[in-house]
Every structure is written in structure tokens, then in C-alpha cells.
Amino acid sequence: MTTIEAFIDCHPPTATAQHKSAKARDAGFGVSKRGRLVARHKISFFETGDVKAARTQLTEHFTRYAPAAPLAGPLKLTVTWTFYWNNADLAKRKKGNLPAWLPKITRPDGDNLAKMLKDVLTKLGYWGDDAHVSAEYYRRGLGDRPGIHFKVEPYEPDYTPPEDHIVEEVEL
């Protein structure tokens, strides 16, 4: 099976799929359970300009690595997001007080970054459905060379449940 691996030299987007906005619109009137006339509203969710731009950026970067046919079977996705230093950390890095790469503990959250990326990879045909991704590993950090390093490979199960695990019954 094919392995796809690349480093995309870019400033990764910080907007995620969770940054959607909502708008309520009038949907007429209805009758409540008590027989009263009540206004109805429909909630519509939409992507803001930042989220659309992030999705477009990811689509443009990952299009060139898309496989000719979707990958099948269980897959493992490994992604490292490297953001450029903020001003305070850059000064420390220049003085030699920080390593070349440092884990990031501020937003955006890794799982939110991953959701948008998996949606983009699904749309580009990396796999038929993101349910094929059986193992995921994400890292976020600050570093000298911003970008996205990703690897999609066949997943060889590396987990064995403990044999001495006893399931205890609990009465409710």
C-alpha cells in the first residue's frame, strides 16, 4: 500500500472548523403545545471568511499530494503543525534560550486543526471516508521553519489489549 509523506512549507492557518458562525432567520409562525401562536426561527451555520481562507489554503497545499485513487484499509495519519515564533519567544530563540522546535500550548487546538484537515483530505480523495483513519497522531509547536509535515500510511495495529483485564459488573 502507498505511503504519502510531505512537508508543506507555509504559515499554517489558525482558523479551524470550530470558528463557524450562526444566524437565526424567521421561519414563520407555529402553534405551541398549549395552543399559543409562537414565532419560529431557523438557525443557519456558515463559515466566516477566515475559515474559508484556511480551508482554501489547505486545499491548495494538499492537492499536489493527492493519490490517483483513494487509499483503502485502515490508515494512520501523522501531522505536525509548526507555527512561527511569537515575538517574545523569537527573542529568546535568537539568544539561544529555546530549542529549534517547542510544543505549542495555546490555541488553536490540535483536534480542531485536525478536523478541518481531515475534511479537506477526504474531499481531495485521499480516502473514501475519514473513518478509514484508525490511528491519528498530532503535534503542534513553534519553530524556525513553519509548515505542516504530514504522513498517511497503512495502519498496522500496534495495540494488544491486556489479557488480565477483568470486566466487573456494576449494579445500577
What pTM value is reported for the model? 0.77
pLDDT single digits (tens) 117-126:
999 999 999 9
Mean pLDDT on 47-65: 89
Contact 132, 77 (CB under 8 A): no
Beta bridge mates, 77: 136, 152
For 51, 75, 79, 172, the CA distances from 135, given in Å and listed in that order, are 26, 7, 11, 34
Of 161, 99, 104, the closest CA to residue 138 belongs to: 104
Q: Give the per-residue pLDDT at 129.
A: 93
pLDDT exceeds 60 at position 5: yes
Kindly indicate the confidence band of residue 45, based on its pLDDT and cuts at 50, 70 and 90. Answer: low
Neighbours of 51 (CB within 10 A): 19
pLDDT tens profile 80-136? 999 999 999 999 999 999 999 999 999 888 888 999 999 999 999 999 999 999 999
Cis peptide upstream of residue 157 (ω within 30 degrees of 0): no
pLDDT value of residue 16: 76
Q: How many CB atoms lie within 10 A of CB 154?
A: 14
User: CA–CA separation, 74 vs 127, rounded Å?
Assistant: 10
Per-residue pLDDT band at 36 (split at 50, 70, 90): confident
CA gap 83, 110 in Å, rounded: 12
Q: Which CATH number fits domain 4-19+44-154: 3.40.50.2300, 3.40.720.10, 3.30.1330.70, 3.40.50.300?
A: 3.30.1330.70
Give domain limits for the chain: 4-19+44-154
